[in-house]
Structure 1
Amino acid sequence: MIETFEKIEDIEIRLLLEALYVRYHYDFRNYAMGSIKRRLRQAREQMGFATISALQERVLHDETMLPRLLDYLTVQVSEMFRDPSYFRAIREKVVPHLKTYPSLKVWIAGCSCGEEVYSLAILFREEGLEDRTIFYATDINQDALRAAEAGVYDLDRIQLFTENHRKSGGKSSLSDYYHASYGRVSFDRSLRERVVFSDHSLVTDAVFGEMHLISCRNVMIYFDRPLQDRAVGLFSDSLARKGFFGIGSKESLRFSAHAEEFKEFVREEKIYQRLGK
């Protein structure tokens, strides 16, 4: 009986993912199925539907349900200067190379609610690179993009953000960059002046320009192998010659079809450099 239920559920999930693609052009069909299944089960239960099919029917006929479902399907968990050693490696190993360019483009792919965007903006300001840099912050979740552009976070997260900033080699106090009131902190608008927030899908969209640094951390871990290959190929095509590419600590380019297009630059922090084109 349990086996029959799971088989039916698998069919429902495939139909829902196809419906999302045809109706709204969001393509989750090549995401890792185990992860998608967990998230859809959680969405079904918390949104009060008896079956995935019932959820699909509602989402197809009620556009206001889409943002709610996307909040389950897209992971919005991050923190400023997450894995501080990664940002220290960018500061100490990558920045000296970036300083040789008169202008820079940086792409934060899968930017979630903006924590990494502000982390890099602050790091680049501290290293004297902000004025020559344009940051592109992209995500498929419109609500996350709006939150990222607002730059407002709960005050109880700031202690962790501050400690991460310090460990990353921060050259100032994180408090220099935000204002606190009513249990929330708002990061200075000047940090957003050189940021372009944009909707972009690694599944369906094309090259995003010629970048000197791309940071896409803890996003591809949710993709299946073919989709990972597509994303890495997209990043490779989007990088300038000898540009840098950072991924999450549990991710790897080792088995990618595009692995030979990169060399390890800071192995322990999963920072790669695009080989000369």
Structure 2
Amino acid sequence: MTALSDADDAALTALLEGVYHRYHYDFRGYAEASLRRRIAAALGHLRCPSLDDLRARVLAEPRCFGELLRFLTVQVSDLFRDPSYYRSIRECVVPYLRTYPSLKVWVAGCATGEEAYSLAIVFAEEGLLERTLIYATDIHPESLRTAEAGVYDLDRFARFSESYRLAGGHGSLSDFYTASSSSAILDRRLKQAILFSDHSLATDVAFAEVELVSCRNVLIYFDRPLQNRALGVLRDSVRRKGFLGLGAKETLRFSSHAEAFGELVPEDRIYQRR
């Protein structure tokens, strides 16, 4: 993979502008260092000698844009990734949520769905799933299809089971999936509680008024203005006294929305709307 040089700046800007106007995906506010690495990798994968060639192909061939999208979006996720976060949801957020007759949760940037299913499992064990609707959104259509299917490689589940245990699981993770050959199929009751949909924190507005927003490991790929824009969308979605969860390397500090929230579990980046 050859790194992009400063001489590529104008071509990179033209590529991102072209993608925005042709496909309405806005990567112009993504963190530059990460974006440049991903596009350099895409150049090699798509066998394009230059950014100008890549732009011409992407704008002319929607299928080529679909390939580029795989590089521009981060689709790394696990069930109960960062177990302490889910333990804190269970121990510190769920007691508040029990007081509501119905619940709405938004998982923003859900990738292939593991985070949404992790929350669904927590809510099932805490007796809240039947009155909960989980909105899970992402900008990557292929990832959303994977998420909606709820079928994952079985060899990942030994690791998932340990994370589930560390997250305070009450029983066995196997209670929530059926093994079939080399795959694990998640339980239908989990799938029925989740609505997967397309949504962009870069261009779209608040998704719904919800009691909990979980947006983890998304903001780290945005530059500061886009982070602030996305946090505004998340803030507008969280109802008064509702909750916001971010990734371990993300924070509300230094944003214009920090005063709208108090820290509930600082070490796990869980906040409560004032």
TM tier, smaller:
over 0.9
Which is worse superposed, 172-181 or 86-95?
Answer: 172-181
Shift of 1:65: 1.3
Matched residue, 2:6: 7
Matched residue, 1:239: 238
Q: Return structure 1 stretches of 4+ with deviation > 6 angstroms.
A: none
Shift of 1:84: 0.3
1:203 aligned onto 2:178: no
Measure the CA separation in 2 of the matches of 1:203 and 1:102: 32
1:88 aligned onto 2:64: no
Matched residue, 1:183: 182
3-state SS in 2 of match to 1:245:
strand
3-state SS in 2 of match to 1:86:
helix
3-state SS in 1 of match to 2:245:
strand
1:212 aligned onto 2:221: no
Q: Deviations over 1:8-62 (max 9, x none)?
A: 3122111111000000000000011111000000111122111121111111001
Shift of 1:125: 0.2
Q: Which residues of structure 2 form unaligned runs of 5+?
A: none
Matched residue, 2:26: 27
3-state SS in 2 of match to 1:135:
strand
Measure the CA separation in 2 of the matches of 1:181 and 1:105: 31
Measure the CA separation in 2 of the matches of 1:105 and 1:254: 26
Measure the CA separation in 2 of the matches of 1:47 and 1:185: 32
Matched residue, 1:68: 67
Shift of 1:7: 2.4
Measure the CA separation in 2 of the matches of 1:53 and 1:150: 37
Which is worse superposed, 58-67 or 135-144?
Answer: 58-67
Shift of 1:123: 0.5
Matched residue, 2:254: 255
3-state SS in 2 of match to 1:162:
helix
Measure the CA separation in 2 of the matches of 1:151 and 1:183: 14
Q: Which residues of structure 1 form unaligned runs of 5+?
A: none
| TM-score of the pair, normalised by structure 2 | 0.97
Measure the CA separation in 1 of the matches of 2:95 and 2:76: 30
Matched residue, 1:167: 166
Measure the CA separation in 2 of the matches of 1:116 and 1:236: 20
CA RMSD of aligned residues (A): 1.3
3-state SS in 2 of match to 1:120:
helix
3-state SS in 1 of match to 2:62:
coil
Matched residue, 2:117: 118
Quick one: which amino acid aligns to residue 272 of structure 2?
Q
Measure the CA separation in 2 of the matches of 1:48 and 1:179: 40
Quick one: which amino acid aligns to residue 257 of structure 2?
H
Matched residue, 2:191: 192
Measure the CA separation in 1 of the matches of 2:182 and 2:48: 34
- How many residue pairs match? The answer is 273
1:57 aligned onto 2:56: yes
Identity %: 56
Q: Deviations over 1:48-107 (max 9, x none)?
A: 111121111111001111221111000000100000000000000000000000010000
Measure the CA separation in 1 of the matches of 2:236 and 2:204: 13
Measure the CA separation in 2 of the matches of 1:251 and 1:203: 17
| TM-score of the pair, normalised by structure 1 | 0.96
Shift of 1:190: 1.8
Measure the CA separation in 1 of the matches of 2:153 and 2:167: 21
